[in-house]
A and B are shown apart, each in its own frame.
Chain A
């Protein structure tokens, strides 16, 4: 009897295994990419989506009027690539007119019209929606519908990045589906978990906490996507488990590989590391200009420009970057990431010179008078703390290395690791001496104004750094009308900032993703994992079983 039962169970299970109603992918456009993500998207409503995961999904479901090219150049009109707009013309210095591609369709079959573009602009600029992109969209004075396939963007002033501001920050929304929804309710509308866009992939399903599935729109008006299906799979937030899933073949792409996993790909037959190029990141040790105990007073140490400069030149950033990011790490030389078109310009840099740093500290009166290994002056020790998010292993390692370098100078830097919320709250309220920050995602030098100017106090300018000359230089750079003038003014602004040393620039981290080797035509743009994903293919000979499933 037990044997009969066992045989029955085995039979049932065997039947279960083969009783699939699988429709095989019928053509050459097969392939499935399973992307591992540490968390899941918040909401798939483009104006409100925050975080890289949500943005990588909406970038496939929705589309912009035009997109940046692979070099992320924000000022050269020829480097922009058409999307919903098939062409655009500059009517005058304040107006850009876009012609929409008449073949563009929403995934429910409705045509994409100029009304959708104007509606999108109104939604993004509405304070009730509260989009993070709102400050950039407010650079646009208005959007006029000229005819069903022509729309004009008006600007209140002439400047170099008008085209970038018109196209980059907004994914076009379907007015026929959302126009009747009160603006304050848009973000919580069911559309945000079941979106309909006009991008290369259609939304299929979202299993809460588990996966989001998209399928290629075979009738996509630009070019048919190379992969049939894309699935985001939440890996639960544990990095070692996520790496195991990648190397065990459970997933095809891991959005971020830590350095030790990058090394592992070198001997892997299945997984390779692909860099996000060009990097949009730079990290820095930010000095607080205000006293954490009483923000109305200057910081007892870092209000002193000479001290900041002495500390900045004393840090061997190249050695730290080699130790943490490896040989291909990039040393940051200002508030500029490699993705910005001004990267590498001739702005002033503070070179590494430990002897000079030590000499300048001595000239400032910092001496170890009590022999405790820490410099002091007028009874005050050269000792301060740095706050670091405990979630970032990379920033913790950098902080430890720099702590050792400072120690050899007689400078005591205590590392305080904080959970991200506390870290952010301490930064926002100015309760820190030094803050280990990282800025990224935006390829425009205009982002400098969001961190290093007086207007950014209350935003990303956590250290309350103010230099009226910098504010003026940034304003004139933002208003420049040609590339060479803008380059010169940005160079001046960055030189002024670097000269003040409001921070010690550390690294332009080049993140790497793990990608299965069967995919070809793979590249990853610096600002977004999926910007080039519609071009990925799986050659027929290299297909795995999961590549052959239709949805």
Chain B
């Protein structure tokens, strides 16, 4: 197991390095630079702009800039945010918790709701409930996340006015609330973005889980468990579900990059102050180090998510350990 984890970690380092390198180079090749990406920057005399370019080292060859960036990164320095005029890490650090919170909540929706629906469908395969849930999950799965977000926003935000539609907190009252009330405020703000981000994944998970349950529920050991007189609840949760979870764990690893990609759109619709929105703004502003830092962090999260899925797989399925 240790060797397996060590090998995967080495792979992860290589992947992160590659992602960082590609992002850095692609950004440098894109038109514009951080000091001339706004119309007001044109009012700054060219001599001043050139002076600033020299000060930031933007006039140096790309390779030299890249080597210097790697050296800084090795010392934990993510570079400078030209747009926010502060260390790039500070810009990332302020948004990272929000994105992790949103991704975690969306994961709960994706797998909590998806597994629950899949199990319910698997146990009632062919029934009217199964048909309706299949239709609903297929419809949701086919829906663009951006459009789903707008619909939920219009329905629950504008028409019903049940839930807040933007931000992570209510800036009007948040700092005057008790800790418990602050948590409640965060949950209310988190609900629509998390449901939007998680719903499509939940639909996919439900379909996988339904198929896996159908496979498992017909196995001999389930028949044996029932013959032993175990309660149906025990049969389903302890015997059937545990075995039917293996394919879904594979989905867990795949869900991470999809979630991180989805946060860009969801954060835009719901004005969620996270990494996705920061990255898009940084790309538009050619804020090189923020974009590269965000890409490196996203790569770290994705490879760690996949590693976690692999480890879970080996823990839950003894056959994979034996094969290794």
Enumerate chain A interface residues (CB-CB to B < 8 A): 12-13, 15-23, 32, 34, 39, 42-43, 45, 48, 50-51, 127-128, 130-135, 184, 187-188, 192-193, 205, 207-211, 213, 229, 231, 233-238, 240-241, 244-245, 247-251, 419-422, 424-426, 428, 450, 458-460, 546, 549-551
Identify the stretch in B61-69, B156-164, B239-247, B254-262 within 8 Å (CB) of chain A at 4 or more residues. B156-164
Given contacts A134-B48, A231-B171, contact A241 B272 (CB under 8 A): no
Q: When the two chains form their complex, are residues A235 and B31 in contact, meaning their CB atoms are under 8 A apart?
A: no
A547 and chain B: residue at smallest CB distance: B172
B93 and chain A: residue at smallest CB distance: A208
Q: When the two chains form their complex, are residues B273 and A43 in contact, meaning their CB atoms are under 8 A apart?
A: no
**Complex-state Cα separation, A421 to B83, whole angstroms:** 14
Q: 17 A-B Cβ contacts within 8 A?
A: A16-B180, A17-B184, A22-B177, A50-B38, A51-B38, A134-B45, A188-B80, A210-B168, A233-B166, A235-B166, A238-B271, A241-B270, A248-B157, A250-B164, A425-B36, A459-B46, A546-B173
Q: When the two chains form their complex, are residues B167 and A19 in contact, meaning their CB atoms are under 8 A apart?
A: no
Q: When the two chains form their complex, are residues A421 and B286 in contact, meaning their CB atoms are under 8 A apart?
A: yes
**Complex-state Cα separation, A337 to B157, whole angstroms:** 39
**Counting CB contacts under 8 A, is B74 at the interface?**
no
CB within 8 A of A250: which of B43, B45, B157? B157
Q: When the two chains form their complex, are residues A237 and B273 in contact, meaning their CB atoms are under 8 A apart?
A: no
**Complex-state Cα separation, A435 to B170, whole angstroms:** 42
CB within 8 A of A425: which of B32, B48, B150, B184? B32
**Counting CB contacts under 8 A, is B42 at the interface?**
yes
**Counting CB contacts under 8 A, is B284 at the interface?**
yes
**Counting CB contacts under 8 A, is B277 at the interface?**
yes
Q: When the two chains form their complex, are residues B273 and A209 in contact, meaning their CB atoms are under 8 A apart?
A: yes
Inside 8 A of B49's CB, which chain A residues have their CB?
130
**Counting CB contacts under 8 A, is B132 at the interface?**
no
B47 and chain A: residue at smallest CB distance: A127
Identify the stretch in B7-15, B84-92, B120-128, B302-310 within 8 Å (CB) of chain A at 4 or more residues. B84-92
**Complex-state Cα separation, A424 to B269, whole angstroms:** 27
Query: In whole Å, how far is A282's beta carbon from the nearest beta carbon of chain B?
Result: 14
Given contacts A12-B180, A130-B51, contact A244 B39 (CB under 8 A): no
Q: When the two chains form their complex, are residues B180 and A19 in contact, meaning their CB atoms are under 8 A apart?
A: yes
**Counting CB contacts under 8 A, is B169 at the interface?**
yes
Given contacts A13-B184, A236-B272, contact A132 B150 (CB under 8 A): no
Q: When the two chains form their complex, are residues A187 and B42 in contact, meaning their CB atoms are under 8 A apart?
A: no
Q: When the two chains form their complex, are residues B177 and A20 in contact, meaning their CB atoms are under 8 A apart?
A: yes
**Counting CB contacts under 8 A, is B1 at the interface?**
no
**Complex-state Cα separation, A277 to B242, whole angstroms:** 67
Inside 8 A of A244's CB, which chain B residues have their CB?
153-154, 157-158, 165
Q: When the two chains form their complex, are residues A39 and B281 in contact, meaning their CB atoms are under 8 A apart?
A: yes
Q: When the two chains form their complex, are residues B169 and A210 in contact, meaning their CB atoms are under 8 A apart?
A: yes
Which residues 73-113 of B have a CB within 8 angstroms of A? 80, 83-86, 91, 94-95, 98
**Counting CB contacts under 8 A, is B268 at the interface?**
yes
**Counting CB contacts under 8 A, is B5 at the interface?**
no
CB within 8 A of A424: which of B32, B161, B177, B277? B32
Inside 8 A of B237's CB, which chain A residues have their CB?
none
Inside 8 A of A43's CB, which chain B residues have their CB?
84-85
Q: When the two chains form their complex, are residues A32 and B172 in contact, meaning their CB atoms are under 8 A apart?
A: yes
> Using a Cβ–Cβ cut-off of 8 Å, how many residues does chain B contribute to the interface with A?
66
Given contacts A236-B269, A240-B150, contact A208 B91 (CB under 8 A): yes
Inside 8 A of B44's CB, which chain A residues have their CB?
130-132, 134
Query: In whole Å, how far is B24's beta carbon from the nearest beta carbon of chain A?
Result: 17
**Counting CB contacts under 8 A, is B278 at the interface?**
yes
Inside 8 A of B129's CB, which chain A residues have their CB?
none
**Complex-state Cα separation, A248 to B167, whole angstroms:** 14
Inside 8 A of A18's CB, which chain B residues have their CB?
181
Most buried by B among A18, A42, A131, A459: A42
Inside 8 A of A240's CB, which chain B residues have their CB?
150
**Counting CB contacts under 8 A, is B219 at the interface?**
no
Q: When the two chains form their complex, are residues A211 and B176 in contact, meaning their CB atoms are under 8 A apart?
A: no
Given contacts A236-B270, A241-B271, A420-B284, contact A34 B154 (CB under 8 A): no
CB within 8 A of A16: which of B47, B150, B183? B183
Q: When the two chains form their complex, are residues B84 and A241 in contact, meaning their CB atoms are under 8 A apart?
A: no
**Counting CB contacts under 8 A, is B30 at the interface?**
yes
A42 and chain B: residue at smallest CB distance: B83
Inside 8 A of B51's CB, which chain A residues have their CB?
127-128, 130
Q: When the two chains form their complex, are residues A132 and B166 in contact, meaning their CB atoms are under 8 A apart?
A: no
**Complex-state Cα separation, A247 to B153, whole angstroms:** 12
Given contacts A132-B44, A188-B85, A546-B173, contact A248 B286 (CB under 8 A): no
**Complex-state Cα separation, A34 to B172, whole angstroms:** 8
Q: When the two chains form their complex, are residues A450 and B43 in contact, meaning their CB atoms are under 8 A apart?
A: yes
**Complex-state Cα separation, A244 to B160, whole angstroms:** 12
CB within 8 A of B176: which of A21, A237, A460? A21
Inside 8 A of B268's CB, which chain A residues have their CB?
236-238, 241
Q: Which 7 A-B pairs have the closest CB atoms?
A: A209-B273, A236-B271, A208-B94, A421-B32, A16-B184, A211-B171, A210-B273
Inside 8 A of B38's CB, which chain A residues have their CB?
50-51
**Complex-state Cα separation, A244 to B270, whole angstroms:** 11
**Complex-state Cα separation, A48 to B52, whole angstroms:** 13
A240 and chain B: residue at smallest CB distance: B150
CB within 8 A of A241: which of B98, B153, B175? B153
Most buried by B among A184, A238, A549: A238
**Complex-state Cα separation, A241 to B280, whole angstroms:** 17
CB within 8 A of A549: which of B161, B172, B280? B172
Inside 8 A of B94's CB, which chain A residues have their CB?
208-209
Q: When the two chains form their complex, are residues A42 and B183 in contact, meaning their CB atoms are under 8 A apart?
A: no
**Complex-state Cα separation, A1 to B118, whole angstroms:** 26
Q: When the two chains form their complex, are residues A250 and B166 in contact, meaning their CB atoms are under 8 A apart?
A: yes
**Complex-state Cα separation, A22 to B170, whole angstroms:** 13
Inside 8 A of A251's CB, which chain B residues have their CB?
166
Q: When the two chains form their complex, are residues B271 and A233 in contact, meaning their CB atoms are under 8 A apart?
A: yes
A456 and chain B: residue at smallest CB distance: B42
**Counting CB contacts under 8 A, is B37 at the interface?**
yes
Given contacts A134-B44, A210-B273, A236-B268, contact A248 B176 (CB under 8 A): no
Query: In whole Å, how far is A422's beta carbon from the nearest beta carbon of chain B?
Result: 5
**Complex-state Cα separation, A184 to B54, whole angstroms:** 13
Inside 8 A of B173's CB, which chain A residues have their CB?
20, 22, 546, 549
Q: When the two chains form their complex, are residues A428 and B36 in contact, meaning their CB atoms are under 8 A apart?
A: yes
**Complex-state Cα separation, A247 to B47, whole angstroms:** 46
> Beyond A16-B181, A188-B85, A234-B271: 12 further Cβ-contacts under 8 Å?
A19-B178, A43-B84, A43-B85, A134-B48, A187-B85, A236-B269, A237-B277, A241-B153, A245-B165, A248-B158, A249-B161, A459-B46
A462 and chain B: residue at smallest CB distance: B42
**Counting CB contacts under 8 A, is B293 at the interface?**
no
Q: When the two chains form their complex, are residues A250 and B176 in contact, meaning their CB atoms are under 8 A apart?
A: no
**Complex-state Cα separation, A405 to B80, whole angstroms:** 48
Inside 8 A of B150's CB, which chain A residues have their CB?
240-241
Inside 8 A of B281's CB, which chain A residues have their CB?
39, 237
**Complex-state Cα separation, A424 to B34, whole angstroms:** 12
B159 and chain A: residue at smallest CB distance: A248
Q: When the two chains form their complex, are residues B37 and A424 in contact, meaning their CB atoms are under 8 A apart?
A: yes
A447 and chain B: residue at smallest CB distance: B43
**Counting CB contacts under 8 A, is B224 at the interface?**
no
Q: When the two chains form their complex, are residues A207 and B171 in contact, meaning their CB atoms are under 8 A apart?
A: yes
Q: When the two chains form their complex, are residues B158 and A247 in contact, meaning their CB atoms are under 8 A apart?
A: yes
**Counting CB contacts under 8 A, is B41 at the interface?**
yes
